[in-house]
Structure 1
Amino acid sequence: MSELPSDALAWTALAVAAVLAGFSKTGISGTSSLSILLFATMLPAKESTGALLPVLIVADLFAIRFYSRHVEWPVLARLAPWIVIGVGAGAVALWFADDAAMRVVIGAILLAMLALQIWSKLKPKTDDPKPPTGFARRTAAAGTGIAVGSTTMMANAAGPVMVLYLMLSGFPKLRFLGTMAWCFFAVNLFKVPFSVGLGLITWTTLLTTLILVPAVALGAFAGRALVHRIDQKQFEIATLALSAVGAALLII
């Protein structure tokens, strides 16, 4: 990102994306897909991944502040080495991808993640689920970690993967939010050197983030206030539908 956006429409869209980024970290995580889409629409798709990353880190800081005591460290320890592998693979893919290819990649990743979330909601629940074996836990951690690392590096779109993994683990809401917060704060910081090396984070990127901090804060406080007061099912359906349309438009 070599220069700041020059028109009011672009800044309005980026501000809305920043609000949604803050809201997704402290409230309903599905709104993060809309942030990705807005950044990829207003900026070149490849550059948008680097431009959004510092905004997400600011949002992560709010989430940690609100939910820092509610975190499942053993889960993060199981995922960590696999996430590192996934980030490396995603960085290699970014090195070779051009802007047109990245629009398709981002759209495809979002559609895949949306399909995963819909499947998790529609899948029949068993009355007597069998506890996973040690091998099953390790396999799930490996698959989740690699998916989280690669999708977050290429498109900042790993939220739905972690949502599904933690939902299937049966975490209560606060522990769910706290674990998500610490996971993505660490992962996003780990991605910074890769993004700088690929030329995706510049001084202009950081200046854009600084300008958008108030919007991130607004979204973060709104998410914290509303997470216990809204009809989550209807909200998630609307978010999934809008994200699916936006992802399809990116591919087209």
Structure 2
Amino acid sequence: MASFVHMISSFVNPLQTDWNTWFITALCALITGLSKSGLKGFAMINIPILAILYGGMSSVGILLPFLIFGDAFALIYYRRNAQWSHIKRLFPWTMVGLVIAMLIGKYINDQQFRTSIAVSILVCLAIIVYRDISGQKTALTNNKWFTHSLGFSGGFATMIGNAAGPIFNLYLMSMRLPKNVFIGTGAYFYLILNTIKLPIHFFYWQSISTSTLQLNFVMLPILLAGAFAGKKIVQYIPEKAYRIFVIGVIALSAIVLLLK
């Protein structure tokens, strides 16, 4: 009997962490599902939580497959709402940032990076809020500096710490996209980037192992439960309230990055 219990425990908890860590990780999986299916930006709180539990590099490897699962689920419902023109405009600069981050990621000072990203997010967010209040209608994405800088910093952030969510959400939100277009476009964009990152983390950074992948698949039902719940919740949120919610979550995420 004891050997059977040990076998089950080894399967469910392949990293052999304490059960408090396991349950908190399961909560992060649930939050990822909620975020990817509509409550955009909510999963940013997972970044500091997992970093505390597993350390910086390892936490990135644990979170990445969760994000891919969530992106794939979101596309089931929102793929027809995606607008590829927004993805094509941002993607080249994103890849530049991603490649640079891949090359220097093992040597960068994590705290300095997170502080600079957080400050950039708050500055851009302040610009968008000001434009909303003042009633300006011209899209910020008409400015090349805005698109290029967000693309580059987003690619860099997504490679270093899966922290690009607020940056890309900021880009999409600046165009005042309808709720479903916002979710569908973001889901395609994130899935492409996260899939590109997967072999880099597995073979080059070695932050993903067969054991961490096993943990991801064990917690997949929990993530899917969050995704189903998130899809139901977002249906009842009006467009204006949804925009306010996303702004609030992005601001909170930036503050968390500053304080981490």
TM-score by length of 1: 0.84
Q: Is the 8 A contact 2:40 2:246 kept in 1?
A: no
Q: Is the 8 A contact 1:24 1:223 kept in 2?
A: yes
Alpha-carbon separation, structure 2, partners of 1:63 and 1:221: 10
1:247 matched to 2:250:
no
State the partner residue of 1:142.
148
Amino acid paired to 1:176: F
Alpha-carbon separation, structure 2, partners of 1:70 and 1:130: 22
State the partner residue of 2:77.
66
1:10 matched to 2:38:
no
Q: Specify which of 214, 217, 227 is matched with residue 221 of structure 2.
A: 214
Q: Following TM superposition, by how much is the alpha carbon of 1:187 offset from its aligned partner in structure 2, in angstroms?
A: 0.4
Report how many aligned residue pairs link the two structures.
242
**Residues 180-221 of structure 1, C-alpha deviations (whole Å, 9 max, x = no match):** 000000000011122121111111121111111012101111
1:169 matched to 2:180:
no
Change (3 A) 1:14 1:117: farther
Q: Is the 8 A contact 2:64 2:162 kept in 1?
A: yes
Alpha-carbon separation, structure 2, partners of 1:144 and 1:242: 18
User: SS state of the match for residue 168, structure 2?
Assistant: helix
User: SS state of the match for residue 68, structure 1?
Assistant: helix
Q: Following TM superposition, by how much is the alpha carbon of 1:71 offset from its aligned partner in structure 2, in angstroms?
A: 0.6
Q: Is the 8 A contact 1:49 1:200 kept in 2?
A: yes
Q: Following TM superposition, by how much is the alpha carbon of 1:54 offset from its aligned partner in structure 2, in angstroms?
A: 0.8
Amino acid paired to 1:39: L
TM-score by length of 2: 0.82
Q: Following TM superposition, by how much is the alpha carbon of 1:239 offset from its aligned partner in structure 2, in angstroms?
A: 4.5
State the partner residue of 1:129.
137
**Residues 44-94 of structure 1, C-alpha deviations (whole Å, 9 max, x = no match):** 112111111111101111111110111111111111211111111111231
State the partner residue of 1:94.
105
Change (3 A) 1:242 1:73: closer
Compare CA radii of gyration and give the structure with the larger one. Answer: 2
Structure 2 residues not aligned, in runs of 5+: 1-13
Amino acid paired to 1:4: L
Amino acid paired to 1:212: M
